[in-house]
Amino acid sequence: MATVGEVLDRIDRKAPWRSAYQDDPVGLQVGRRSQTVTRALVSLDRSMGAASKAAELSAELLVTHHPLFFRQLARLTDESEEGRLALFLAERSIALISAHTNWDAAHGGVNDVLAEILGLQDVRPFGPSGPAREAKLVVFVPRESTDRVIDALSEAGCGEIGLYRRCAFYSRGTGTFRPLEGSNPAIGQPNAVECVEEDRVEMLVPRARVAAALEALRAHHPYEEPAFDILPLEDRAPWPIGRIGALREPSALGDFARFVDERLQTRCWLWGKPDATVRRIAVVGGAGDDLWRDALTAGAQVLVTGEVRQHHALAASEAGLAMIAAGHYATENPGTMRLREFLGAEFPEVEWLFFEPEEGEAGRPVVRW
């Protein structure tokens, strides 16, 4: 039977929590990791409507894109919207997990889905990223145990680089040691100097997973006292949040805006000349208008996002970048649906349901044609 902790760990493998923006409070916000899950509800927003539906369905878990708590709490009472919702969930033993900017940036997440819906070709990432916060684990292993140790470290979250897993480097050499009285050496005898052909294995490890990695190392390394180093690395930014790609054929900007309306079932606002010819399109679901400079630098002619503030519309227009505001709900809800599909494939024993409010309710706008 699945637990909340297992769901958290599985999301972490797909959309690492450490890839979220630094001040984005993703992860478990209400509940216990040990809680079992047989039915779960996925929702774009952490609304009372979604929470009430989870309670009605007897779900043990609510997974949302938008977090419940964006700032540190001084108190938890029913005097605030967040407090009322948290108490409602806690009183009914419903846990809440939020996957926000980590899911925006993830391969197959919000912005990949948005690019897919709009039919973009040759899609690549652009824009800012959460810091990696990684270290390097170096360990010395007798050759016959190298694959076993690498496999165990990989299962603990080491060796992940982009879309690649179990990434490791090893070089061969000779290790020497003398076991002392009272030791229980896997190779050799106490008080006798030993020389063993060993591999030096190097793997990246998220700083948050160092403890788990060392636990796995000790459990699978044959030595009583394995030798290892943890080397801190400078933060890097490997998870750009936006996506940029090309339309199959060039299009008039006005025609493309109508295409966005149709594909996202929304009603866009457009800044730009409708008869201008465009092909290079950048997408950032939700509130992505402040990434217009990144989109322009990446070569985009148009940025499609959720909302566009007037000062960004003005500056982008004068710089030669068209802007389309397609709505927060329209640009992020499809990616949240994909999160439900991912979790359903990972945990087929859990019933995964999706909360989609009626128009005009729980954050879903009314689209007028």
C-beta atoms surrounding 91 within 10 Å:
9
Q: What is the pLDDT of residue 128?
A: 83
CATH topology of domain 115-129+240-326: 3.40.1390
- Please work out, in degrees rounded to the nearest 5, the angle formed at the alpha carbon of residue 102 by the alpha carbons of 97 and 266: 90
- Average pLDDT for 88-103: 97
**DSSP H helical ranges for 99-179:** 101-105, 110-117, 146-155
Q: Is 115-129+240-326 in the same CATH topology as 2-105+332-355?
A: yes
What confidence tens digit (pLDDT) does each residue in 272-315 have?
999 999 999 999 999 999 999 999 999 999 999 999 999 999 99
Pick 319 or 368 by higher pLDDT: 319
Distance in angstroms (rounded) separating the CA atoms of residues 30 and 69? 10
What confidence tens digit (pLDDT) does each residue in 7-33 have?
999 999 899 888 898 889 999 999 999
CA–chain centroid gap for 155, Å, is 18
What confidence tens digit (pLDDT) does each residue in 244-271 have?
999 999 999 999 999 999 999 999 999 9
What are the distances in angstroms from CA 335 to CA 165, 203, 228, 257, 345? 24, 31, 41, 20, 15
Residue ranges of the domains in the chain? 2-105+332-355, 115-129+240-326, 134-232
Give the up-direction half-sphere exposure of residue 190: CA atoms within 13 A in the CB hemisphere.
5
Nearest to 5, CA basis, from 26, 38, 29, 34: 34
CATH class of the domain defined by 2-105+332-355? alpha beta
- Average pLDDT for 191-212: 92
Q: What is the pLDDT of residue 364?
A: 87
- List all residues 6 or more positions away from 249 whose beta carbon is below 8 Å from its beta carbon: 279
Domain covering 134-232 in this structure, CATH number: 3.30.70.120
Cross-strand partners of 231: 136
Helix (H, G, I), strand (E, B), or coil: what is residue 114? helix
